[in-house]
Amino acid sequence: MEQQNKSTMVVFSGDLDKAMASFIIATGAAAMGKQVTMFFTFWGLNILRKEEYVNVGKKSFMDKMFAAMMPRGPEKLGISKMNFGGLGGKMMKYTMKKKNIVSLKELIEMAQDLDVKMVACTMSMDVMGITQDELIDGLDYAGVASYLADADESKINLFI
């Protein structure tokens, strides 16, 4: 299959610094005119969770446990190194704000404005007990076959 002006990435990590890198790369590629697909799976889904609690009805015990233990949205993510119980993430966000660096929340909005295709992995959602109602608006939902089809047409494919 001929490669096109597309870039794809798997966003597996739910760490703030890795999420930032993912969205900086995605928005940079989109600004350069590339069609970008971001496929969020497992811990990466936490980036897309709504910050507020969403009552979605009856959930299994395990689904409730996952929901309680996982961070809810971009403002609650920790960093991959030196997190120190959340202090590291707060320090990073404070420093970024002081240096006028856009927040992850702003990068997500920028990605949406640049028509970056953000896809939530439905299999991972099922495993982790996450419903569409608990994720931000503007997402696509698909399985790995859909991602692989996009990746097959892409010049660049990243795993973060």
Q: Which domains does the chain have, with CATH numbers?
A: 2-159 (3.40.1260.10)
The DSSP code sequence of 36-48 is EEEEE-GGGGGGG
Mark the ranges of the chain whose per-residue pLDDT is less than 50.
none
Report the DSSP beta bridge partners of residue 38. Answer: 9, 118
**pLDDT of the residue at 55:** 81
**pLDDT of the residue at 136:** 97
**pLDDT of the residue at 66:** 84
**pLDDT of the residue at 16:** 93
Q: What percent of the chain has pLDDT over 90?
A: 68
**pLDDT of the residue at 64:** 83
CA distance 8 to 12: 13
CA distance 124 to 134: 14
pTM over 0.75: yes
CA distance 131 to 125: 7
**pLDDT of the residue at 59:** 86
**pLDDT of the residue at 124:** 96
**pLDDT of the residue at 36:** 97
**pLDDT of the residue at 1:** 55
